[in-house]
Amino acid sequence: MLDTDRDAVALAERRLERSVAATLRIIAAAHDERRAPPVSAARRRLSEVYGATRLARRREQEQRTA
């Protein structure tokens, strides 16, 4: 097998591993969400959005002052 063939196979294997890992994370998140009470899941999601919004605003302010 040529080096380029081995490189292509290794690259394809890494892509597959990343894809499988991403899929497993999605499945785990869905499983956790289904187990959580709806109100708790909604509150958790809102807090994540709120935290991300605060971070984005802080970054914008820092860019303006820099």
What total of structural domains would you count in the chain?
Answer: 2
Domain match, 46 and 56 both: yes
What does pTM read for this prediction?
0.48
Query: Domain containing 53: what range?
Result: 36-66
What are the Cα distances from residue 21, in Å, to 2, 12, 14, 48, 65? Answer: 29, 14, 10, 22, 39
Domain match, 17 and 42 both: no
pLDDT in tens, 7-53: 999 999 999 999 999 999 999 998 888 787 787 778 889 999 999 99
- Tracing tokens 């605060």 back to the chain, one arrives at 54
Domain match, 51 and 63 both: yes
Domain match, 28 and 42 both: no
